[in-house]
Structure 1
Amino acid sequence: MTDLSPAYHYQVIARALGVIDDEGPALTLEDLAAKMRMSPAHFQRVFSQWVGVSPKRYQQYLTLGHARRLLSERHTVLAAAHETGLSGGGRLHDLFLTWEAMSPGDYARGGEGLEIRWGWFESPFGPALVMATEKGICGMGFADETGAEAAMEDLVGRWPKAAFVEDPVAIRPMVDAAFGGSPAALHLIGAPFQIKVWEALLSIPTGHVTTYADIAGAIGHPTAHRAVGTAVGRNPISFLIPCHRALRRDGGLGGYHWGLPRKRAMLAWEAARTGM
Structure 2
Amino acid sequence: MNPSLFQFSPGAFLAPAVDWLNANLHPLFAAISSLIETVLTSFETALLSVPPFVLIGIVVILAFFLVQLRVAILAGLALGFCFLAGLWTASMQTIALVSVAVAISVLIAFPLGIFASRNKSVEAAVRPVLDIMQTVPPWVYLIPAVMIFSLGRVPAIIATIVYGVPPMLRLTTLAFNQVPKDLLELGQAIGASPRTILFKIEIPSAKPTLLVGLNQCILLSLAMVVLAGLVGAGGLGAEVTRGLTRMEMGLGLRAGLAIVAVALLFDRLSRGALQGKRAAGAK
- Determine which structure has the larger strand proportion and give its number: 1
TM score, norm. by length of structure 1 = 0.26
Q: Which entry has the higher C-alpha Rg, 1 or 2?
A: 2
TM-score, normalisation: structure 2: 0.25
